[in-house]
């Protein structure tokens, strides 16, 4: 009986580890190319919500409605689908927010949840659907030291090396939830961020997306 119990416990532990290690990938298809994104297991609330919306077809046909070169490309507003050129976008969502899961840095190629700022959102809850892809700029060691001191962040050597290699937007660290990263198609972010935009940062030519879970 004791051996059976030990074997059962081992199987349960093995299955648990397997579920923890399993990776979830999404493909974001755009007019300028496709990006394969790994969704972090360290942010399960955001991961599962993104998967749910993608499987429902929520993102299909939506726009990257806010693009700032050297910073990021934002999308996920349901009001952007078939939106008129003069439409003001950026306030739409699925009708709920997601509790913050803040921790991962904003390296180039990461995907993070947009949110409302200011005193109305002290818990830094995320938008239920809007996200942004980080382009950012090159980062120096001195800049990392400065941001780390300001925000009380002790970057690991691996994180420092990645920031110095890829760049990103460390000024956003610990304020927004990063829940994944581009593992294929990183150049597509540059293509999106390089387009011409109108006042308000909306691309002059619509950039539509389609998201599917792999």
- Which CATH number characterizes residue 129's domain? 2.40.100.10
Residue 89 counted as domain residue: no
**Which position has the higher pLDDT, 173 or 17?**
173
Average pLDDT over residues 45-54: 98
Residue 13 counted as domain residue: no
The range of the structural domain enclosing residue 193 comes to 22-80+95-112+124-213
Q: What is the mean pLDDT of the chain?
A: 92
Instruction: Indicate whether 9 pLDDT > 70.
Output: no
Residue 131 counted as domain residue: yes
Residue 162 counted as domain residue: yes
Cβ atoms of 198 and 86 closer than 8 Å: no
pLDDT reported for residue 86: 86
Residue 57 counted as domain residue: yes
Whole-number Å distance between alpha carbons of 108 and 71: 9
Whole-number Å distance between alpha carbons of 29 and 46: 20
Tell me the per-residue pLDDT of 103-158, one tens digit each, with 9 for 90 and over.
Answer: 999 999 999 999 998 899 999 999 999 999 999 999 999 999 999 999 999 999 99
Residue 178 counted as domain residue: yes
Confidence label for 199 from pLDDT (cuts 50, 70 and 90): very high
Residue 185 counted as domain residue: yes
pLDDT reported for residue 147: 92
Give the percent of the chain with pLDDT over 90.
Answer: 87
Total domains in the chain come to 1
Residue 31 counted as domain residue: yes
pLDDT reported for residue 97: 97
pLDDT reported for residue 19: 54
pLDDT reported for residue 21: 81
Instruction: Indicate whether 12 pLDDT > 70.
Output: no
pLDDT reported for residue 20: 61
From residue 197, give the alpha-carbon distance in Å to each of 38, 73, 75, 189, 202. Answer: 28, 11, 14, 15, 5
Tell me the per-residue pLDDT of 143-181, one tens digit each, with 9 for 90 and over.
Answer: 999 999 999 999 999 999 999 999 999 999 999 999 999
**Which position has the higher pLDDT, 11 or 162?**
162
């Amino acid at each position: 009986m004791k051996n059976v119990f030990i074997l059962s416990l081992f199987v349960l532990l093995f299955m648990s580890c397997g579920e923890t290690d399993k990776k979830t990938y999404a493909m974001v298809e755009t007019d300028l190319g496709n990006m394969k994104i790994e969704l972090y297991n360290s942010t399960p609330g955001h991961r599962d919500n993104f998967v749910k919306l993608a499987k429902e077809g929520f993102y299909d046909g939506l726009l990257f409605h806010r693009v700032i070169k050297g910073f990021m490309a934002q999308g996920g507003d349901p009001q952007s689908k078939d939106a008129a050129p003069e439409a003001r976008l950026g306030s739409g969502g699925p009708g709920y927010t997601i509790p913050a899961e803040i921790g991962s840095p904003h390296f180039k190629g990461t995907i993070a949840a947009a949110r409302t700022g200011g005193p109305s959102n002290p818990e830094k809850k995320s938008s239920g659907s809007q996200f942004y892809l980080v382009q950012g700029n090159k980062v120096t060691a001195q800049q990392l030291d400065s941001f780390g001191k300001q925000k009380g962040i002790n970057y690991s050597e691996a994180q420092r090396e990645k920031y110095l290699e890829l760049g990103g937007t460390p000024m956003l660290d610990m304020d927004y939830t990063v829940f994944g990263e581009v593992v294929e198609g990183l150049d597509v972010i540059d293509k999106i961020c390089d387009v011409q935009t109108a006042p308000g940062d909306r691309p002059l030519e619509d950039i539509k997306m389609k998201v599917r879970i792999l």
